[in-house]
């Protein structure tokens, strides 16, 4: 890809947005016993994806000074100068507006407005205020990252359902161990740019305890889809295995920390969410089909 295109691509935090879009799609599939209406699937996914990418671009515009001073973020296009603020603002506005229009007119207004609230929650409230205000920044800001399955659900049904809120809760509780594992590894960088992430304000030991506590909570919350009858035994087995493995990581991180373990815990957190949502999808749609074939 020519440089300019790859720069716009990186401005969107594509790997994060991909997982966000996937969780939204799982929300869509779980909202209905049958096939998701093709227009909700297509336009819902596109609209939510474009608005998430727009939020990520605005986040990079607002954070460019801090990004410049951290090794992890130094290669971002607004830091390298490959893109300037005007280009980025035009791009973020264009994809955000297209996304909003798609959701408003081709999906439904509730999905559009809830997605807009999510965008403002992440790009505005989290990036501008929370991130620099409190070490609970990512706990509160996590609500934006947890919203996509609800948005997907609403795209199909037009209403918010309690089962959708369970999916929200899973991502909401997953966010602290996801992020704090990385923040443990990178605490010096955050301290240098005066961002009060938990390991900076409360130390590594306290953060490891919090990661462990949230992972215990995540184990319990990940059982809720089965406990409420939304998912079946296939999901239950997957959730126990995946959450159990996460718990082993968190216990080792707390009681037997060693170099590189925090980063592997962070890597596992991403695999975990992808696999857990895949399990929800397979359990809901493929397992009944396979059972029908078998008998």
Ligand X SMILES: CC(C)=CCC/C(C)=C/CC/C(C)=C/COP(=O)(O)OP(=O)(O)O
Summarize as ranges the residues that interact with ligand X (CB under 6 A).
Answer: 13, 16, 20, 48, 51-52, 55-56, 59, 63, 73, 115, 118-119, 122, 127, 131, 144-145, 148
Which two structure tokens, joined as six digits, stand for 24?
């939204």
Answer yes or no whether residue 16 interacts with ligand HEM by CB under 6 A.
yes
Question: Rule CB under 6 A: is residue 19 a binding residue for ligand HEM?
Answer: yes
In the complex, least distance from residue 11 CB atom to ligand X, rounded to whole angstroms: 11
- 51: partner contacted, choices ligand HEM, ligand X, none (Cβ within 5-8 A by kind): ligand X
State which of residues 24, 31, 70, 138 lies at the interface with ligand HEM (CB under 6 A).
138
Alpha helices, H only, 135-284: 137-146, 148-157, 162-185, 187-192, 198-221, 224-227, 233-255, 261-281
Q: Kindly identify the residues of this chain, within the stretch 20-49, that bind ligand HEM according to CB under 6 A.
A: 20, 23
What is the Cα–Cα distance from 26 to 284, expressed in whole angstroms? 10
CB of 22 to ligand HEM, least distance (A): 8
- Rounded Cα distance between 155 and 283, Å, is 21
List Cβ neighbours of 49 (8 Å cut-off, separation of 6 or more): 17, 20, 21, 24, 99
In 10 A of CB 107, how many CB atoms?
Answer: 26
User: Using CB distances below 5 to 8 A depending on partner kind, what does residue 48 bind out of ligand X, ligand HEM, none?
Assistant: ligand X
The CA distance from 24 to 28, in Å, is 6
Based on CB atoms, which residue is closest to ligand HEM, 106 or 213? 213
> Is residue 182 part of the contact set for ligand HEM (CB under 6 A)?
yes
Total number of residues shown for the chain: 295
142 interacts with, out of ligand X, ligand HEM, none, CB within 5 to 8 A per kind: ligand HEM
**Other CB atoms within 10 A of residue 180 CB:** 28
Q: Is 167 exposed, middle or buried (0-12, 13-18, 19+ CB in 10 A)?
A: buried
175 binding ligand HEM? (CB under 6 A)? yes
Number of residues that bind ligand HEM (CB under 6 A): 17
Residue ranges in contact with ligand HEM by CB under 6 A: 15-16, 19-20, 23, 72, 138, 141-142, 145, 171, 175, 178-179, 182, 270, 273
């Amino acid at each position: 890809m020519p440089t300019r295109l790859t720069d716009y691509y990186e401005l969107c935090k594509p790997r994060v947005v991909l997982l966000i879009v996937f969780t939204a799609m799982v929300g869509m599939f779980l909202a209905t016993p049958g096939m998701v209406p093709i227009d909700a699937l297509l336009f819902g996914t596109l609209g939510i994806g474009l608005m998430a990418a727009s939020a990520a671009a605005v986040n990079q515009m607002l954070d460019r000074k801090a990004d410049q001073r951290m090794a992890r973020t130094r290669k971002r296009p607004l830091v390298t100068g490959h893109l300037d603020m005007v280009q980025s603002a035009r791009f973020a506005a264009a994809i955000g507006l297209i996304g909003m229009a798609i959701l408003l007119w081709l999906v439904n207004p509730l999905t559009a407005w809830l997605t807009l609230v999510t965008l403002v929650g992440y790009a505005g409230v989290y990036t501008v205020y929370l991130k620099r205000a409190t070490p609970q920044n990512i706990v509160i800001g996590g609500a934006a990252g947890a919203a996509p399955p609800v948005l997907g659900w609403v795209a199909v049904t037009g209403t918010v359902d309690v089962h959708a809120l369970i999916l929200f809760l899973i991502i909401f509780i997953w966010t602290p161990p996801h992020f704090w594992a990385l923040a443990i590894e990178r605490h010096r960088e955050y301290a240098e740019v005066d961002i009060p992430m938990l390991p900076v304000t409360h130390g590594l030991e306290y953060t490891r305890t919090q990661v462990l506590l949230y992972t215990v909570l995540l184990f319990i919350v990940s059982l809720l889809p089965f406990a409420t009858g939304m998912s079946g035994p296939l999901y239950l087995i997957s959730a126990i295995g995946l959450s159990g493995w996460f718990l082993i990581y968190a216990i080792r991180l707390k009681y037997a920390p060693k170099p590189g373990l925090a980063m592997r815990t962070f890597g596992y957190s991403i695999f975990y969410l992808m696999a857990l949502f895949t399990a929800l999808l397979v359990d809901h749609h493929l397992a009944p089909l396979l059972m029908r074939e078998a008998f």
